[in-house]
Amino acid sequence: MTQREFTIHNEVDSLFIQEQESHQLLTTYELSLISELITPKEKKRNNNKVPRPPNCFIIFRNYFVITNKDQCDQEKISMRMISTLASEAWKSLSPDSKSFFRTLADMYLQNHKIKYPDYKFSPKKKRSSKSSAKKEKRTSDETKEMIKKHMFTWNINERQTVNDPPHPTPPA
């Protein structure tokens, strides 16, 4: 462990003690998880690409996965479902608990700025695939016909009639 990592871990430990005094968020067993949550993962990736720092929810999701790993392995829950469960757990967290994870994200960001001082996020434009090009070629009439044809296989609210197209679900 380098001096900088040691300092960060000590800061995290003192932060945890302050948080623990105000409310019981994590058990003593989970104290070791905090260092794991704010330490960047060493993955096999392109050496030229700097990893993006995680936000507070991503850190919470990592915490959620670590603390529920045994249960998820036993029940063979997919990562998609784990993310959904983590999202529901995040929504039910108290503001104090969320602020704890926001503080961890801020600490991670500070560490990231030290490690990569010239980092600037630059999103890549998505390439259009053949399937998305085909979707764009469909006319609205073709789409309506497909909806009518497959209407009975979808979960439809009772208020909708067979001729009404399903309402889109709002983003989470």
Assign 133 to helix, strand or coil.
helix
Average pLDDT over residues 121-148: 62
pLDDT reading at 12 higher than 90: no
Please say whether the beta carbons of 104 and 9 come within 8 A: no
pLDDT at 90: 93
Q: pLDDT per residue over 49-85, tens digit each?
A: 888 899 999 999 988 888 888 777 777 778 888 888 8
Predicted TM-score of the model (pTM): 0.53
Q: Which two tokens mark 168?
A: 């889109």
What 3-state DSSP class applies to 36?
helix
pLDDT classification of 146: cutoffs 50, 70, 90: very low
Q: Select the highest-mean-pLDDT range: 12-16, 45-49, 63-67, 166-170.
A: 63-67
Could you state, in order of their start, the residue ranges of all structural domains in the chain? 3-115, 129-166
Phi, psi of 145 (to 5 degrees): -65, -40
Smallest Cα–Cα separation from 104: which of 5, 3, 7, 8? 8
Gap between the Cα atoms of 103 and 95, Å rounded: 12
